[in-house]
Amino acid sequence: MIQSVAETGQDSGDKREMADRIARATQTPQEAAKVATDKQKGTVTSINLDDNDNKTPIWSVDVVTKDWNKTDFEIDAVKGTITREEVDHD
């Protein structure tokens, strides 16, 4: 189950930017989660829609494994490909 939570304190510019990201994202959060868990088996603990440095919309997906390692994936929200992967062993 995916839940959506609105950020507090957003001004109208922030809301317009988010609406633009959503409009450009052709991959759903569920599809992004599947791409991440196909690469790293585990539990998805967070999914956020943002832009990367090139202003491309990306899904940031956190996957936690059974041994509590967390992998943060950035997944292109248009193409559905992994653009960055970082493992946190803490």
Average pLDDT of the residues in 9-21: 79
User: Is the Cβ–Cβ distance between 45 and 39 less than 8 Å?
Assistant: no
pLDDT of residue 54: 85
User: Is the Cβ–Cβ distance between 42 and 57 less than 8 Å?
Assistant: no
pLDDT of residue 33: 97
pLDDT of residue 8: 60
Residue 5 has pLDDT above 90, yes or no: no
pLDDT of residue 10: 64
Least confident of 17-21, 32-36, 80-84: 17-21
Label residue 9 left, alpha or beta by phi (over 0 means left) and psi (-120 to 50 means alpha): left
Residue 2 has pLDDT above 60, yes or no: no
pLDDT of residue 16: 86
CA–CA separation, 52 and 39 (whole Å)? 20
pLDDT of residue 4: 54
Read off the pLDDT band of 34 (50, 70, 90): very high
